[in-house]
Amino acid sequence: MNSVTHEGGGVRAALLAADPGRRQRLLSSYLKDEALKTLEIDLGELGRDEPLDALSIDSVAVLDFKNRVEDELGVSVPVMDLVEGITLEQLESTLMTQLTKHALRAPGAGPENRSGDGVRSRAADRRRALGSSRDAGDAS
């Protein structure tokens, strides 16, 4: 496998299954692919130590990029980091730290079993919140 698959949870699973050196390369490739798709920029043309905000990226595109990375990798990407000058190298390092913590956990901590890993999908949080508000409405 030369690149990371983008099929249902495959990105995170492939990264977690890879050895640390390969994980770094796959993550870098994934971020460049996502940036090209969602931000319409080629991160290969940006120096690893240049801030992403130097590219004058549209804020809606930044949110789309952030949400896609979070959803596909099961990590947290603070939006302020993206708009306040994080470099590609810093972003990769932040995400690698989170992914490495996940990889060191017990087997079965993949995308289909995220309980206890501290990262929940926003969709699941919304479903729980909607269910709670409906239950509260039923009780009145």
**DSSP for 43-58?**
GGGS-TTSBGGGG---
**Distance from C-alpha of 101 to C-alpha of 5, rounded to nearest angstrom:** 21
- 7 pLDDT band (50/70/90 cuts)? very low
**Residue 5 domain-assigned (yes or no):** no
Neighbours of 101 (CB within 10 A): 14
**Residue 42 domain-assigned (yes or no):** yes
Say which range, 12-26, 47-61, 68-82, 124-138, has the weakest mean pLDDT: 124-138
Residue 27 pLDDT exceeds 50: yes
**Residue 134 domain-assigned (yes or no):** yes
| Domain, as residue range, for 71 | 10-139
**Residue 31 domain-assigned (yes or no):** yes
**Residue 1 domain-assigned (yes or no):** no
Give me the number of domains the chain comprises.
Answer: 1
At 93-140, the pLDDT tens digits run: 999 999 888 777 645 544 444 433 344 444 545 445 555 444 545 554
**Distance from C-alpha of 43 to C-alpha of 34, rounded to nearest angstrom:** 10
